[in-house]
Structure 1
Amino acid sequence: MHAARGLPLAGLRVIDLADGKAEMCGRFLADLGADVIRVEPPGGAPTRRREPLHEGVSLYFATHNANKRGITLDLRDSADRGRLLDLAAGADILIETERPGALDRLGIGADALLARNPALVVVSITDFGQTGPYRDWIGTDWTHLALGGVLSRSGIPGREPVLPPGPPAYESAAVQAAFAGLLAYLNRLDTGRGDHVDCSVYEMTAQTLDPGFGIGGSATGGVPATELPRGRPDAGRLYPIFRCADGYVRICLLARRQWRGMFAWLGEPEEFADPKYDTLAGRFGASERLHVLIGELFRDRTRDELVARGQERGVPIAALLDPGEVLAGPHFLARGSLVDAEVAPGLTGRLPSGYVEVNGVRAGFRHRAPEVGEHNDEVFAEAARTPPAGPAPAAPAPRRPLEGLRVLDLGVIVAGAELGRLLADQGAEVIKVESRAYPDGSRQSLTGQVITASFARGHRNKLSAGINLRSPEGLDIFKRLAARSDVILSNFKPGTLESLGLGYDVIGELNPRIIMADSSALGASGPWSRRMGYGPLVRASTGLTGLWRDTGVEGGFCDAITIYPDHIAARVAAVAVLAALIERRRTGRGGTVSVAQAETILTQMSTGLLRESLRPGTLTPHGNTGEWDAPQGLYPCAGEDEWCVVSVEGEERWRSLCRVIGRDDLLADPRLATSAGRRAHRGLIDAAVTAWTAATPPRECMRRLQEAGVPAGMMQRVTEYLDDPQLRARGFLREMRQPHIGHTLPTENGPAAFRGIADPELRPAPLMGEHTRLVAAKLLGLAEPEVDRLIEAGVLEETDTKAEV
């Protein structure tokens, strides 16, 4: 068997039938050490011909299939279908992305695969899921961004919305599918039974990119997305971008100490000396005048100078880099975030290595994607030696696979909250460790609420223990808890836990089975590692902000409201934590997981960055115009600020579109018979599509095009999720109750639909220190008088009933 020594998923075998949708799912598992066998038809997968091409090589295929082995099977042939079943008999996970029912009609659907190997986990990744009224619709990255609530919050207030760059919907869905697949595999290790995991890209987009019913970032100030303005929110005042001598920089002033650093840098202007400006709300109200002063200060200084001075003064700041600068970035090269590698025979380029570090080693690019059928002989020989699967054990009731796991959660803000919540949803006992001296910023609210809907969703199912880690006794209590726990989560500035004496070298000695997962903005090593990092600054440093822009406006940067990549980085960490738990079952030892938000973005931009390295200047902002065919764009619909994405690729969909909009004359035009011709006459086509969409309501526009086989997606707002027929049919949202909020809250359900895994519990999020006494008594055996003493001494903290009621 193919082995990846030293990686947590070594020994796991994955059959990968994915093509064109979420292929990074198998790549991520391969990065973590799984033996991933990519199955293609004899002539090669369609994605081998997917743009962009370089010297005949699909850069998409190269980046998404590295670290895999490759075989060929013709699934239209009965003998080859039998070979697939033979392979499945010795596999742990199978990934497929066919249209719902397609594999069933060939006799190799999930039921047939599970009949052959009852322990197999079948992960089906489809655009809209296996059930529901949209199940047969066709998606693209853009249709999912439109339907998934991202588009409605992307853009400049008062202008048309702007589609984010790259393929973030499918890339993010791939990570969540890997998480769901490993959950089912862990469940199989306990129960002996596999599963069919039904992953909907539409739902995963709505959960992972900018979730309306999950935890929100500082840009919302605790205000639910359902209560944000109907148009594009004016969030640019929170994370403002300023022109300087050689480009742009972005600052991110959230905490009082950060504002004080900026105030001093400005020369302590009298008009901003009032203490009210120490608050986010106070500065927000005066942002227009304040930003004039900052703009004047920055105008004649270079990016490097401003970043250096900002770091000295404690002002979070980052330069907006372009893709070429990112590829040459000394930090990313020093960390191994980017590598120079042979990506196809005879073709070398620079590309992101991968998502995560495990035990101090990057789990990333090891070898190029396979040639067509490159590993046929060895893989089929291995299959011939595979013993038949045993009988299926009795099916247990659905359960949560992380029950019995104890997690100490030091995570804060979005990425930290989300990782702990993902584990708590699956049955882990997650204890949020916090203190009033260093409060979690996600507890703050512009409206003074005791607990916000955002916090409630992001911390559901957790306990809260108030522990002062700045006191010797508090540190001792934490260490005693760590000795009785399985996982520790944190997302502080690199070195923080080590400075407290809580690094892995210390905790690992106390508990060799502990898994410690950390997340940071730019990683725990490298020349930029100690820079203050928030999502908006990470987006600037990785080139994303510069690509995500309204090209019709000077500057035109559009990413201010979004929370990306926090929710994805949390899922990257969750996948790696599950992989470490799987390895611990085999070895008995824990280890470390380290995630950098910057590398999450870079990995999701792998294809574009590889292309940029081979042909400098090709990765540029495209706004709402698709690069490879036409029509691919955003079109106005009947109503105020209503839009629909239409994304045509290939002649069949072009013909269908012309018939729907009643333009057979375009169909007969020889100039438009090829994708190159349509691109050359994009203006003519866009005018024709606009004439039809502008008279059609957005949902009807989407429905009529989809029924004709044309990928289309209306710009859906978060408030419309509640009535979306597909989301309702699939139970995407559930209701939870949270004390101190006078109504039930709609909140997202689990990451996928499973047969053997129960939906998450929906226990309320805790108040600060709400479970301190419970944790002290249950886990540490402390008597009540001792707990009282520790609270009196400020070592432990409990809910302040006067403040919290």
Structure 2
Amino acid sequence: MSGDLDLPLDGVRVVDLTIGPLAAIGRHLVEWGAEVIRVEKPGGADDRRSGRSIEGVSLDFVAANLGKKAIELDLGGDAGDWDAFEELLAGTDILLESSAPLDVDALHRRHPGLVILSVSPFGRSGSYSNWQATGPVFHALSGELSRSGIPGRPPLLPPGNLPYDCAVPQAVYVTLLAYLERLRTGVGDHLDFAVLDGAVHALDPGYGIAGSATAGVPASKLPRGRPDARHQYPIIPCADGFVRLCILSPRQWRGMFAWMGSPEEFADPSFDRLDIRFKSPTLIPAITRFFADQKRADLEEAGQRHGVPTTAVLDLREALESEQIQARRAFTTVDLAPGIAAPFPDGVLEFDGYRAGIRGPAPLPDHRLPGSRPPVPADDPSGDPSGRPLAGLRVLDLGVIVVGAEQSRLLADQGADVIKVENDAFRDGSRQTRDGSVMSVTFAAGHRNKRSLGLDLRSEAGRELFLRLAAETDVVLTNFRPGTLESLGLGYDVLKAANPGVIVVDSSAFGSTGPASRRLGYGPLVRASAGLTRQWRYPDDEAGYSDAITVYPDHVAARIGVAGVLALLVRRRRTGAGGTISISQTEVMLGHMASKIAEDSLTRAGHVLDGPETPDAPWGVFPAAGDDEWCVVTVRSDGDRRALCRVIGHDDSAADQGLVAALTEWLAARTAADAMETLQNAGVPAAAMLRVSELPSFPYYIERNFFRTTGHPAVRQPFHLENAPVRSERLPDPDERPAPLLGEHTRQIAAERLGLTDAEIDTLLTAGVLQA
């Protein structure tokens, strides 16, 4: 990172009382310039000793806390260090808490300008506030588990700790949104953030926008069992492993057809259609035969040459050693103990062309309160407290598919005027539908509250109109292949010349630099090249890959990008300058595997790590009574094990294998819902596997007002959408303006924002510069 980089949150002070994976919320903020002070109990927080460790240093703790400061305060009773804590809060902007016994309402009354993020598994209040959670429990209750696996086999728990990993950026996003609102109005907020809510929003929302290969079919309409989606992003064996293809558009299919030598069997023009290719019983076998004696690297190169998105399915070590990751310097070495070091992600965003990465080691506890801090952006209490946080913010949205839709939708929901700039000749892939209708439910979900401008950016007149819009715009969003905006004559330097305060976001599959930066990339290719697809498979099946239906990491990458926008808006209040943000979806994903990557590196170097390699048994998905009904049960500790044994009537001195058998028998006689309730009442983390269609009627989501029922003029029936991004005292629910048809607002925008007359608009429409 350049020493000249003006980090956007410079001067912002954060007090952090989160532990475990939630501590990564503060890690993002510290990387972006905030001073993050971790408050721990005397003797240190419990998460310093959790998970896999070396020389007493927890890898999970390091990954979540790099760059922070730490102090020890006793907040355990009336005789604790409350005066010191109050003194600390008096100079604090944001409080993150997940574990301390705080009277948050009283704190908020004493510090009305403080933004408080309270993080808990299921919310601070309500019927589920005492429920126990683990990653598998969140997978089951979010609908993700029901989509993971192969038809006819048990559902497959995804690898890693993705619910927490994805909830963290959602928490960062809502925290910075509330902080910007504090700067605008002078009034703080209390955010009741549930990890389950964050996981549903940011991992792979069942009622959010879906990938183009679903062709507009919402996840709620998927078949009851695990959907067989392997044909959508096929993984093909080859001479030295596997490669994955994404053949979505007609242009990509024609490239594949030419690459195969234009076989007569597939020459019918109907193969331009996605549904025809998906239904073909012979296409995938023909590609398999064609690839059989070729190597991964050669297939990647040939696929790119023919315009067919193609990538090797790599393991994690291969991913880290790839030319792209090495060239990007996405990881840096962190010292853990004398003579012991391991690689960790060096940040997840680039601001102004520089990586905003690690700003220091994981902290050792101190007993001294921090001193004064640099000046911070001044509050402007003149803002309308009843308005939406981003009211007045102008956004030009050039994004496509999921990342593009989500970035702008998150801003539009909070009041920004988002104009989706599009053209029928290069239609957003998420507009396609299986039945030819003009609007799908998933597009309606991903593009609500926006306007659409039909504009040909490849024409000189279209470019000039865009620059006129950009001159009075705050944010420009893109997720093209890097270099596309420059090829249109609309690179950041050009936009900055028109508007020094503009913020330009570039989100791409592999990053804006490096040998793979210009490669075609989609989420499934990112998962394959980043080593996740290899982990997301049945352990007894080499080819049992099961990540085809998920949209991860698109939604979470979008939230990281939008959180970066909010951070730059904070900086712009201080400096008046705009800036750039660059996100690599590959690096977002690798960041979620930080601890595993460090552990693999240490193991290869011959070090012996402490701590359990796998969770205690039982830990997994078990069949329950009924047709294809499943219940997740997880045991975190001896206490969980004893509680489970009491519930099912098992001798807790027996071997784990006997416990698994006893649990399996107990579950077979009960519905998953009954088992979940009984085990949760005993303090055991357990959850029934919910299908996406079941989420809106599940009592937890009703109680949290998570979903709303809405409609669209071009959609025949009502449908569900996510509601507010967090429970808040001040942030309003999103508006309900329907997603636009292509060019629906062209005339309105041309007159309102460009000052064109009806005659001028008609001329530009006739010339094809504008579309309506």
* Cα 1:487/1:386, change in 2 over 3 Å: closer
2:609 match: none
1:70 match: 70
User: Distance in 2 between the 1:345 and 1:123 partners?
Assistant: 36
User: Distance in 2 between the 1:56 and 1:4 partners?
Assistant: 36
- Give the conservation status (yes or no) of the 8 Å contact 2:41–2:72: yes
Alignment of 1:304-703 (within 5 A): 304-343=297-336, 346-373=339-366, 376-377=367-368, 379-382=369-372, 398-616=386-604, 627-663=614-650, 665=651, 667-669=652-654, 681-703=655-677
After TM superposition, give the deviation of residue 386 of structure 1 in Å.
12
Counting matched residue pairs gives 764
- Give the conservation status (yes or no) of the 8 Å contact 1:260–1:278: yes
User: Distance in 2 between the 1:591 and 1:547 partners?
Assistant: 37
User: Distance in 1 between the 2:399 and 2:192 partners?
Assistant: 29
Deviations, residues 722-755 of structure 1 (Å, cap 9, x unaligned): 2111110111001222111122221001210111
SS in 1 for 2:116: strand
Counterpart of 2:421 in structure 1: which amino acid?
V
Counterpart of 1:246 in structure 2: which amino acid?
D
User: Distance in 2 between the 1:303 and 1:432 partners?
Assistant: 38
Counterpart of 1:402 in structure 2: which amino acid?
L
User: Distance in 2 between the 1:5 and 1:483 partners?
Assistant: 24
Counterpart of 1:292 in structure 2: which amino acid?
P
Runs of 4+ in 1 over 4 A off after TM superposition: 343-346, 380-383, 390-398
User: Distance in 2 between the 1:689 and 1:72 partners?
Assistant: 42
* Cα 1:393/1:554, change in 2 over 3 Å: closer
1:22 match: 22
User: Distance in 2 between the 1:706 and 1:627 partners?
Assistant: 22
- Bigger Cα displacement from structure 2, 453-462 vs 200-209: 200-209
SS in 2 for 1:505: helix
After TM superposition, give the deviation of residue 16 of structure 1 in Å.
0.6
Alignment of 1:166-181 (within 5 A): 166-181=160-175
User: Distance in 1 between the 2:615 and 2:660 partners?
Assistant: 15
Counterpart of 1:76 in structure 2: which amino acid?
G
After TM superposition, give the deviation of residue 760 of structure 1 in Å.
0.7
1:51 match: 51
2:766 match: 792
- Give the conservation status (yes or no) of the 8 Å contact 1:468–1:795: yes
User: Distance in 2 between the 1:185 and 1:350 partners?
Assistant: 32
After TM superposition, give the deviation of residue 617 of structure 1 in Å.
10
- Give the conservation status (yes or no) of the 8 Å contact 1:133–1:725: no
User: Distance in 1 between the 2:542 and 2:21 partners?
Assistant: 35
Alignment of 1:717-756 (within 5 A): 717-756=691-730
User: Distance in 2 between the 1:194 and 1:647 partners?
Assistant: 38
User: Distance in 1 between the 2:375 and 2:694 partners?
Assistant: 50
Counterpart of 1:658 in structure 2: which amino acid?
C
Q: Does 1:300 align with 2:296?
A: no
After TM superposition, give the deviation of residue 616 of structure 1 in Å.
3.4
Deviations, residues 189-211 of structure 1 (Å, cap 9, x unaligned): 01111100111111121121121
User: Distance in 1 between the 2:625 and 2:605 partners?
Assistant: 38
- Bigger Cα displacement from structure 2, 605-614 vs 57-66: 605-614
After TM superposition, give the deviation of residue 398 of structure 1 in Å.
4.4
- Bigger Cα displacement from structure 2, 576-585 vs 89-98: 89-98
Deviations, residues 641-676 of structure 1 (Å, cap 9, x unaligned): 11111111111111111111111x2x234xxxxxxx
- Give the conservation status (yes or no) of the 8 Å contact 2:30–2:359: no
- Bigger Cα displacement from structure 2, 762-771 vs 204-213: 204-213
SS in 2 for 1:780: coil
- Give the conservation status (yes or no) of the 8 Å contact 2:528–2:534: yes
After TM superposition, give the deviation of residue 115 of structure 1 in Å.
2.5
1:203 match: 197
After TM superposition, give the deviation of residue 351 of structure 1 in Å.
2.1
- Give the conservation status (yes or no) of the 8 Å contact 1:626–1:632: no
Alignment of 1:185-204 (within 5 A): 185-204=179-198
User: Distance in 2 between the 1:154 and 1:14 partners?
Assistant: 37
After TM superposition, give the deviation of residue 629 of structure 1 in Å.
1.4
* Cα 1:788/1:551, change in 2 over 3 Å: same
* Cα 1:356/1:476, change in 2 over 3 Å: same
- Give the conservation status (yes or no) of the 8 Å contact 2:185–2:385: no
Deviations, residues 323-380 of structure 1 (Å, cap 9, x unaligned): 111222221121121222324565311122121111001111232101233xx32x34
Match of 2:233 among 239, 247, 270: 239
* Cα 1:17/1:271, change in 2 over 3 Å: same
* Cα 1:756/1:144, change in 2 over 3 Å: same
User: Distance in 2 between the 1:630 and 1:276 partners?
Assistant: 52
- Give the conservation status (yes or no) of the 8 Å contact 1:15–1:88: yes
User: Distance in 1 between the 2:359 and 2:176 partners?
Assistant: 22
Counterpart of 1:140 in structure 2: which amino acid?
T
User: Distance in 2 between the 1:650 and 1:261 partners?
Assistant: 54
SS in 2 for 1:713: strand
SS in 1 for 2:550: coil
* Cα 1:720/1:277, change in 2 over 3 Å: same
- Give the conservation status (yes or no) of the 8 Å contact 2:132–2:680: yes
SS in 2 for 1:726: helix
* Cα 1:495/1:110, change in 2 over 3 Å: same
Deviations, residues 93-142 of structure 1 (Å, cap 9, x unaligned): 010113xxx63xxxx32222222321110001111112331111111111
After TM superposition, give the deviation of residue 21 of structure 1 in Å.
4.2
Q: Does 1:95 align with 2:83?
A: no
User: Distance in 2 between the 1:333 and 1:113 partners?
Assistant: 46
Counterpart of 1:230 in structure 2: which amino acid?
R
Counterpart of 2:75 in structure 1: which amino acid?
L
User: Distance in 2 between the 1:563 and 1:4 partners?
Assistant: 37
Q: Does 1:83 align with 2:71?
A: no
1:803 match: none
Counterpart of 2:289 in structure 1: which amino acid?
E
After TM superposition, give the deviation of residue 554 of structure 1 in Å.
3.4
Counterpart of 1:120 in structure 2: which amino acid?
L
- Bigger Cα displacement from structure 2, 216-225 vs 312-321: 216-225
- Give the conservation status (yes or no) of the 8 Å contact 1:119–1:392: no
Gaps of 5+ in 2: 607-611
- Give the conservation status (yes or no) of the 8 Å contact 2:73–2:80: no
- Give the conservation status (yes or no) of the 8 Å contact 1:26–1:36: yes
TM-score normalised by structure 2 residue count? 0.96
- Give the conservation status (yes or no) of the 8 Å contact 1:736–1:764: no
Counterpart of 1:714 in structure 2: which amino acid?
A
1:266 match: 260
User: Distance in 2 between the 1:189 and 1:159 partners?
Assistant: 52
1:673 match: none
Counterpart of 1:195 in structure 2: which amino acid?
D
After TM superposition, give the deviation of residue 688 of structure 1 in Å.
1.6
TM-score normalised by structure 1 residue count? 0.92
Deviations, residues 604-647 of structure 1 (Å, cap 9, x unaligned): 111111111111399xxxxxx98131221111111111111111
- Give the conservation status (yes or no) of the 8 Å contact 1:8–1:583: yes
SS in 1 for 2:159: coil
Q: Does 1:151 align with 2:145?
A: yes
- Give the conservation status (yes or no) of the 8 Å contact 2:695–2:701: yes
After TM superposition, give the deviation of residue 562 of structure 1 in Å.
0.3
Q: What value does the CA root-mean-square deviation take over the aligned residues?
A: 2.2
User: Distance in 2 between the 1:523 and 1:682 partners?
Assistant: 45
